[in-house]
Structure 1
Amino acid sequence: MECYMYRRIQESVEKCNIMKEFDVFGEQKEKSFTDSVYPTEIVMMHLLETQQKIKENAELVPEAFKLFLKVCLWGNKCDLSISGGEDNAQKSSPLEQLGKLEPNILINDSNVVLNHLCSRNFKRIDIVLDNAGFELISDLCFAEFLLSAGLCSTIYLHAKAFPWFVSDVTKKDFDWTLQMLGQINHIAVSNFAQVWKERLNNSSWILQVDDFWTLPYDYSQMETYAPDLYQSLQKSDMIFFKGDLNYRKLLGDLRWPFTTSFETCLRGFYPAPLCVLRTSKSDVLVGLPEGRDEEVKAQDEDWLVNGNWGVINACLKTK
């Protein structure tokens, strides 16, 4: 029903000759970015310093990887669809929040993912993007870290074909964000604004848009309805899916028992090793040990839907 609603909104816009290129959520997404400049500067400065330290000591890579993975996870809290389009920007230091939020990671496969990425010479990593604003910044910082740490040589970034679920990233949002970063007078932000434009030019970053991400099908149907996309993802060494909607589509938006394994719920969808980074904003959740749901519910009645609990959930079976 939600997918249908957003498609009808877009249909109304595209049928108007004057508004064909208009993004009905554009103003809200731009405000989400401008309200998040302070945490953006903090994370990018930390990334710049981390890159310099790693050049001197490669043993720092594992802990740095886990940090930027968690920044990427909790960036997903900034979702305008969960707040009905109301202000939901990241305004405080995300690095200071990581320790406090650590107990709220219900499933944490970060070590499994790191071991996988360090086990061989990987070339391609894909990130299926979710929200614009600070979450996109956290995704780009994670992508930059993966490249600079030598964990891959190419990042494929996947955006939506049109405005979707209020704040989901389109190519227009992506380009606008890089443009705005280039106008911020800050040593790290200015540096990465230039670096990331060059990455797009030299194809170490590749931004792709596919209609499938805004179709009503869940991901177990991708091979049937978007075979070219599925075949492309099969070339990936690791796919990171961001956010609640991607999680729901991976699981078919079905109400599985909380203890069901993630691999079972994928129902055969496995183009490549994958990991989902998601804060919970719907009642679809799997992979928990017996009784864990009751423990969390006792702490937080709205734990399934308020975005305060997250998962780093991987499926790394042999192809």
Structure 2
Amino acid sequence: MSFSADVILGNEPGAFPYSVLAERHPAIIGQVRAAFPYGPEQHRGLDALLDNCTKGVIEPLPGGAWGEWGIDAYVGRSWFDVPWLWSESYFYRRLLDAVGYFGDGPWRGIDPFRPSKLAELESPETDRELEALDTLASRPAEEREAALLHGSLWGNRADLGFRLSDGQAEERAAVPDLVADDSDRLRSLLDGAGTLCLIADNAGRELIPDLLLLAHLLRDGRVERAVLHVKPHPYYVSDATTADVVDAVRRLVRAPGQASAYGRLLWEAMADGRLAVRAHDFSCAPLPYADMPGDLRTEIGGAALTVLKGDLNYRRLVGDRRWAPTTSFAEVTAYFPGPVAALRTLKSDVITGLDSRTEAALVAAEEQRWRTSGTHALIQVRP
């Protein structure tokens, strides 16, 4: 890479990364504490984390964890003075340690974010969105695919939902908010051959449309096989794990109408290998994808296309840096081993691949809020 930009830190008061470290993380500790009847040991662990993450320094992880991910370089430094991507990831690892997720006691393996994930799956909003699939089923295949693609893109934007019942309305609502749109290029790469890798982001109401998109692509022969990459353990509140995939597929299977048909297709595809689930340790690494290990690079390099979902995966794809917005997306992802696409709702500062007129219009209309408000999105492709 012949150009560079400063790594984003969390030490600028008033900036978005600083607010995440100083405000959002303490709030998440409170939410986790309230979600489970934890015992004294877990409460002491949460108290210690709350104190440390706001006023303390990076400490070693139990068992020497993260030695291969650079923790030794950051031990003793303030949470605010290390790369923001690294500090955020470290917080979630420390949170799991505090509640005994990796320990030998009764709380081992208990997802502290599971109640909120299940609540999303069982919400009335999910019911309405799944009912809309019945209407979508009568639309032409190209229109269904466009609607499902936008459903996956906007799935975690609560005020928009899927709007799958009206593909044209979805286009009217979403396209003006897309700061970059390579959707035609993306669809041209789905030629029925090879494997599609989808690196998932959130569980719940966002994972459902991701699964629906995969089911559509498999059913219509747009891809031969799909590999869904999820997290090996809970991460960033709502990130999807294998357990969340199982919950989502079961939710689809027991739904009425077209949703159930999609669910059964996914169930059968997992059984016969057309849909595989992967949970590589690097999925929870505090590092960019440029640092991915060889085995993951080989697997992804063999795919016809890899699609990365969500804001965190975008930060890891392009590097969590203060890029100029017009920096070439193709150039910053040139290292990636194969064709790659990003489907992302904007929820952090990093951005690449904008044209100068789009950037100027966004800045004039909203200053910098467009970067973090979740009201804008992008579809970017590097063939």
In the other structure, the counterpart of 1:19 is 107
- Deviation of the 1:130 alpha carbon: 0.6
In the other structure, the counterpart of 1:253 is 320
Residues 1:40 and 2:123 aligned together? no
* Rounded Cα–Cα distance in structure 1 between residues aligned with 2:161 and 2:179: 22
- Deviation of the 1:180 alpha carbon: 2.7
In the other structure, the counterpart of 1:28 is 116
**TM-score, length-scaled by structure 2:** 0.71
- Deviation of the 1:94 alpha carbon: 7.1
- CA distance 1:33–1:315, shift in 2 (3 Å): same
* 1:109-164 deviations in Å (ceiling 9; x for gaps): 0111222323xx51211100011112111111111111122211101001101111
* Rounded Cα–Cα distance in structure 1 between residues aligned with 2:189 and 2:164: 30
- Deviation of the 1:235 alpha carbon: 1.1
Q: Check the 8 A contact 1:62/1:114 in 2, yes or no.
A: no
1:210 to 257, 261, 280: 280
- CA distance 1:293–1:168, shift in 2 (3 Å): same
- CA distance 1:7–1:94, shift in 2 (3 Å): farther
- Deviation of the 1:62 alpha carbon: 3.6
Residues 1:170 and 2:258 aligned together? no
How does 1:64-143 map onto structure 2 within 5 Å?
64-77=144-157, 90=161, 95=166, 96-118=169-191, 121-143=192-214
Specify the code of the residue in structure 2 equivalent to 1:285. Answer: I
Q: Check the 8 A contact 2:150/2:170 in 1, yes or no.
A: no
How does 1:217-232 map onto structure 2 within 5 Å?
217-222=287-292, 226-232=293-299
Q: Check the 8 A contact 2:225/2:275 in 1, yes or no.
A: yes
Q: Check the 8 A contact 1:160/1:210 in 2, yes or no.
A: yes
- CA distance 1:169–1:47, shift in 2 (3 Å): farther
In the other structure, the counterpart of 1:82 is none
| SS across alignment from 1:173 | helix
Extract unaligned runs of 5+ from structure 1: 51-59, 79-87
Residues 1:5 and 2:94 aligned together? no
Residues 1:150 and 2:221 aligned together? yes
1:273 to 311, 332, 339: 339
The structure with higher relative contact order (CA 8 Å, sep 6+) is 1
* Rounded Cα–Cα distance in structure 2 between residues aligned with 1:46 and 1:235: 36
In the other structure, the counterpart of 2:349 is 283
Larger Cα Rg: Structure 1 or Structure 2?
A: 2
- CA distance 1:181–1:68, shift in 2 (3 Å): closer
In the other structure, the counterpart of 2:71 is none
* Rounded Cα–Cα distance in structure 2 between residues aligned with 1:24 and 1:18: 13
Question: Number of residue pairs matched?
Answer: 291
Specify the code of the residue in structure 2 equivalent to 1:140. Answer: L
Q: Check the 8 A contact 1:39/1:91 in 2, yes or no.
A: no
Q: Check the 8 A contact 2:150/2:174 in 1, yes or no.
A: no
* Rounded Cα–Cα distance in structure 1 between residues aligned with 2:336 and 2:294: 13
- Deviation of the 1:38 alpha carbon: 2.5
* 1:267-315 deviations in Å (ceiling 9; x for gaps): x422111100001000101111114223113333411101110000000
- CA distance 1:232–1:247, shift in 2 (3 Å): same
Specify the code of the residue in structure 1 equivalent to 2:223. Answer: C
* Rounded Cα–Cα distance in structure 1 between residues aligned with 2:172 and 2:160: 20
2:364 to 286, 295, 298: 298
Extract unaligned runs of 5+ from structure 2: 1-86
- CA distance 1:149–1:195, shift in 2 (3 Å): closer
Q: Check the 8 A contact 1:40/1:134 in 2, yes or no.
A: no
Identity of aligned residues (%): 28
**TM-score, length-scaled by structure 1:** 0.85
Residues 1:234 and 2:301 aligned together? yes
* Rounded Cα–Cα distance in structure 2 between residues aligned with 1:265 and 1:259: 11
Q: Check the 8 A contact 1:39/1:92 in 2, yes or no.
A: no
Specify the code of the residue in structure 2 equivalent to 1:20. Answer: R
Q: Please, what is the CA RMSD of the aligned residues?
A: 2.1
Q: Check the 8 A contact 2:131/2:259 in 1, yes or no.
A: no
